[in-house]
Homo-oligomer: A and B are copies of this chain.
Amino acid sequence: MTVTDLARDAATDPDTSDLRSRILTIAERLFRDMGYRKTTVADIAAALRMSPGNVYRFFPSKKALNEAVAERLLAQIEAELGRIVSESCSPARERLRRFLRTTHAMSAGQFTANRRMHDMVEVAMAESWEVIHGHIDRVEELLVVLVTEGVRSGEFRAVDPRAAARCVQTAIVRFCHPALIAQCADREQPTIDEMTDFLLTGLGTG
């Protein structure tokens, strides 16, 4: 689907929550294609064939747009992680492995694979910590559920689930923080799987 197709849909659909989401889709696409700093609200409005005032009605500033785009990208990661945690018939160890691998792959894919996304991420890191902290908190909650289930099933030793979840989350920051993924790109080891093995040993029952 091209930007023009998306814009046509947005222009013909009167539903506001849908319109809000289409503005975000176009904004994300333009941030990805042109870079955050080069994209203006006028560009977004033009792609949607509406007036900038109409965009401002939903997003009073470019910062608000950046935050909403970032939140949506992070929500996609959270949704996928939530799905993994909820597969309660799989062993907790295996779910943790997929959880960490997915966190890394999706963070790298969304925030560092496309160099033009770097300036959006940089601005979000500088201006919108609440959005990022909210995401970190939600990922922590998911990890707490997973560790709790692993302790209950006897796969993990009797750790405090929250304390252990926080250690695991902190230990893999190099694999999900966009700046670190980029900075560590030429340091190949450990991979996320090697790191996961190491962390699983820490959680293990021996």
Chain A contacts to B: CB under 8 angstroms: 125, 129, 133, 136, 163-164, 166-167, 170-174, 177, 179-180, 183, 187, 189-190, 194-195, 198-199, 201-202, 206
Contacts and interface: CB of A to CB of B under 8 A. Distances in A.
A202 B206 contact: no
A123 to B, nearest CB: 14
A52 to B, nearest CB: 33
A173 B171 CA distance: 8
Contacts of A166: 189-190, 194
Contacts of A129: 183
Contact of A167 (B170, B173, B195): B195
Best-buried of A133, A170, A202 by chain B (most CB within 10 Å): A170
Given A163-B190, A171-B195, A173-B173, 19 more contacts: A125-B183, A129-B183, A133-B187, A136-B187, A163-B189, A163-B198, A166-B190, A167-B190, A167-B194, A167-B195, A167-B198, A170-B190, A170-B195, A171-B171, A171-B172, A171-B199, A177-B180, A180-B180, A199-B202
Contacts of A202: 198-199, 201-202
Contact of A179 (B171, B172, B179, B198): B179
Contacts of A183: 125, 129
22 contacts: A125-B183, A129-B183, A133-B187, A163-B189, A163-B194, A164-B198, A166-B189, A166-B190, A166-B194, A167-B190, A167-B195, A167-B198, A170-B174, A170-B190, A171-B198, A173-B173, A179-B179, A180-B180, A199-B202, A201-B202, A202-B202, A206-B206
- A-B residue pairs, 8 tightest by C-beta: A202-B202, A171-B171, A167-B198, A206-B206, A201-B202, A173-B174, A166-B190, A167-B190
A57 to B, nearest CB: 33
Nearest to A169: B190
A99 to B, nearest CB: 16
Contacts of A177: 180
